[in-house]
Amino acid sequence: MNQTRRDVLRAGGGASLFALLAASGMLRPGAALAADWNQKAFEAKNVKDALDALGAGNPASSNDIVMIAPEIAENGAVVPIAATSKIPGTESITILIAKNPTALAASFDIPSGTEAAVSTRVKLAQTTDVHVLVKAQGKYYMTKKEVKVTIGGCGG
Amino acid sequence: MKTLQVSIFGAAALAIAFSAGAQDYRGQAINMMKQDFHAKGIAGIDRLNEDALQLVCNRSGNNPPKGVAERLQQDQFEAIKYPADGKFLGDWKAGEKIAQRGRGMTWKDKAGKTSRGEPNGGSCYNCHQIGAATTSFGTIGNSLLHFGKIRGYGADTQKYVYGKIYNAKAFNLCSNMPRFGHSGTLTETQIKDLVALLLDPNSPVNK
Amino acid sequence: MSSIKLRVFVALSGLALACAAQAQQAAAPKKAAAQAKNAASGSKSAIAAEFEKFRGIMEDASPAELFEVKGEELWKTKRGPKNASLEKCDLGLGPGVLKGAYVKLPRYFADAGQMMDAERRIVYCMVTLQGFNEKDLAKQPFSKGRHVPDPVALVTYVAGQSRGMKIAVPQKHAKEREAYKVGETIFNYRAGAWDFSCASCHGEDGKRIRTQDLPNLSSKQGAIAAFQGWPGYRMTGGLMHTLQWRMNDCFRQQRFPEPGYASQTIANLLTYMGVNANGHVYKGPGIKR
Amino acid sequence: MADPMRIRATAKDGGVNVKVLMAHDMETGQRKDGAGKPIPAHFIQHVSATWQGKVVLSAIWGPAIAKNPFLEFNFKGGKKGEKVQITWTDNKGDKRTDEATIN
């Protein structure tokens, strides 16, 4: 078990508590997985390699994933992305950015009782497809949207 | 920067044209700036001093009395240094780079070159539309798209454009446009390249 | 540097390059043109609406709030050689009164005998109440890299305390009316290598540099646009900046020498701009491109 | 030491809306400083949110999350006066926990 994993466990009240929660089923396997920072997935240079490293294979395209992202980002350094999954039993929501130096941006584990919806802000190196990957009941689904990154002008 | 001398005639006319108001806000403003600003890098404190032209434009709200304007404009015109070889057209490709480059002459830059060691830019696209391919152009200046196509490519036009870039104030005393040759921002070769950008029939500006 | 690399660098980098975009375009005019064309494929107003919508989303939880939190802590903590907090600092409405103080600055302070904008007054309080050295505060007054100067966070906190209040920069005192006039004169004063004044770029409606709209600060609408959003979190670089920084970098681009930090000149200029914006509701610390 | 987070937890429609801003550089490791030296990667890798001892969200992040990160999510069951804790851990092992009261 690596250092970061232990930190997260401590935040949850210590290893013994973790074991207890795991045994009682309160911590689902998904949550435990997310606690591991998946180095291989984060180092993947493209979406396909990242999906492979995440074990997501070829996810089915889905209209039940709603992504709110700008058509054109005012500044690639801060691009708001909101992702909502309407797929029952959603366990995780993952954001991938096709043309960034590394594709995987973030992965969120959704425990039961938490809405399958997250908002964050990401960096886009250039105009690119942004993908949202959803894992629900063991299966993977994905949607994508192109975000243009503009340049030009002195700021402020 | 060189200061142009105001003739005795000009100075006398100025004194008549601008008698000080009840309160000297202008004097206060200048004193305040001289107290508050400091030299940094190539931007010396002397840059706060107005030359004759700046003084006239400042005091008249950029609308000087006709006689004064004509006199000073003539001074500016006579100080333009045209190329000794009599040629005005350089390389439009080099001109495009100069037009795109917005750096040079600030306190972050170096003498005669930018902070990155490149030759000073002309910042032309900051204010003017020039080549059709660049859609991110400013609008402080007029559009220069199809400049030669519209105005013709003749020697007189070439000389005019060279002079205008060298010292825009020789043609319009209180113009917004910097005096690129007069201020030592651009070299003779660079100005020729810009003339070519506007007046070479092969330049994309004229396509 | 190739255009792609440069773009990646700028987008990911977050370095605060005042005119980064211009440099970019200078290095890669073709690429820049293609990008701009791409961006312009929708109508201009559609793009503006899109920017506005997502600005709104970000302003709802602005990173500027992080600096308000930091500034509040700095305000209330006993610090400096005199081990005092700033809770007795008088921003013009009495010692410790923060609500609505920012939108009524700059103003004339009898105790200092001078015009002071928010940052100038906060520096004055840090010197007089806490015993900090003014020269030390002026050494690195702007955000850079990981450095967030204390006055920047403090100004952000103080500005946040005027969110939703009307801009009402006073013109009661003779010195305040004089500051407006002197500020106006400085605004229009042409000098330096390129004969520029503030008004060269900010004196007319509807102008822009490259794609950047330039507010006409001599008009009410333009002055409001400029008052709004400062202090501002710049997405480029992710740095918090105040109007002191904005004025400083404008003078740099004006090809002037450097204005003193928190100087009278800046206080007078901000009086001119602030009075022109009077009557409008201030939205609080904002987000800048 | 890391600067404090800004957490807003608001009760609505039988659930709680949580908005978090975290003060962090989120260095990608791909930038160079003024002297041309690479700036080492420094970014948040783990985020978790707990309410009443229960994890209500956990996430793993890479350096593509924007500087001074923002996170928003909703969970069911929280009531006014209860507390939500957020913890982040970065790749250098730095860690910060902040707490907000639901209102």
Burial grade of C288 (CB within 10 A; 0-12, 13-18, 19 or more): buried
Q: What is the pLDDT of residues C249-278, one digit of tens each?
A: 999 999 999 999 999 999 999 999 999 999
Distance from C-alpha of C133 to C-alpha of C139, rounded to nearest angstrom: 10
Q: Give the neighbours of chain A: at least 3 Cβ pairs within 8 Å.
A: B, C, D
- How many other C-beta atoms are found inside a 10 Å radius of the C-beta of residue D93? 10
Residues of B in contact with C37 (CB under 8 A): 135
Q: What is the pLDDT of residues A79-100, one digit of tens each?
A: 999 999 999 999 999 999 999 9
Q: What average pLDDT does the segment C46-54 reach? A: 85
B56-74 burial: b if 16+ Cβ within 10 Å, else e: bbbebebebeeebbebbbe
Q: β-strand D83-90 against D95-101: which pairing, if any?
A: antiparallel
In chain B, where the domains are located: 2-78, 92-206
Nearest Cα to Cα of residue C143 among C55, C57, C70: C70
Q: β-strand A72-73 against A139-149: which pairing, if any?
A: parallel
Task: Give the start-end residues of each E strand in D13-94.
Answer: 15-21, 44-51, 54-61, 70-76, 83-90
Helix (H) or strand (E) holding C286: strand C285-288
Structure confidence at residue A7 as a pLDDT band (50, 70, 90) = very low
In chain C, where the domains are located: 1-61, 62-288
Which of C26, C255, C258 lies nearest to residue B97, judging by beta carbons? C26
Q: What percent of chain C has pLDDT over 70?
A: 85
Place of tokens 């793993």: D60
How many CA atoms lie less than 13 Å away from C43 in the CB half-sphere? 3
- What part of C 53-82 touches B (C-beta under 8 Å)? none
Is the pair B, C in contact (3+ CB pairs within 8 Å)? yes
D51: three-class secondary structure by DSSP: strand
Token digits for C110?
Answer: 């009898």
Class of domain C62-288: mainly alpha
**Minimum CA–CA partner of D24 in chain C:** C146
**pLDDT at site C163:** 97
Token digits for A8?
Answer: 């997260």
Residue C238 at interface with chain A, using a CB cutoff of 8 Å:
yes
Q: What is the pLDDT of residues C159-200, one digit of tens each?
A: 999 999 999 999 999 999 999 999 999 999 999 999 999 999
CATH of B92-206, one of 1.10.760.10, 3.40.50.720, 2.60.40.10, 2.30.40.10: 1.10.760.10
pLDDT in 10s for each residue of chain B, 207 residues = 444 444 444 444 454 445 445 589 999 999 999 999 999 999 999 999 999 999 999 999 999 999 999 999 999 999 999 999 999 999 999 999 999 999 999 999 999 999 999 999 999 999 999 999 998 899 999 999 999 999 999 999 999 999 999 999 999 999 999 999 999 999 999 999 999 999 999 999 999
Catalytic residues of C: 250
Distance from CA of C163 to the nearest CA of B (A): 31
Place of tokens 């009410």: C220
Residue D64 at interface with chain A, using a CB cutoff of 8 Å:
yes
Distance from C-alpha of B47 to C-alpha of B43, rounded to nearest angstrom: 7
Burial grade of D69 (CB within 10 A; 0-12, 13-18, 19 or more): buried
pTM for the whole structure? 0.86
Distance from C-alpha of B98 to C-alpha of A136, rounded to nearest angstrom: 56
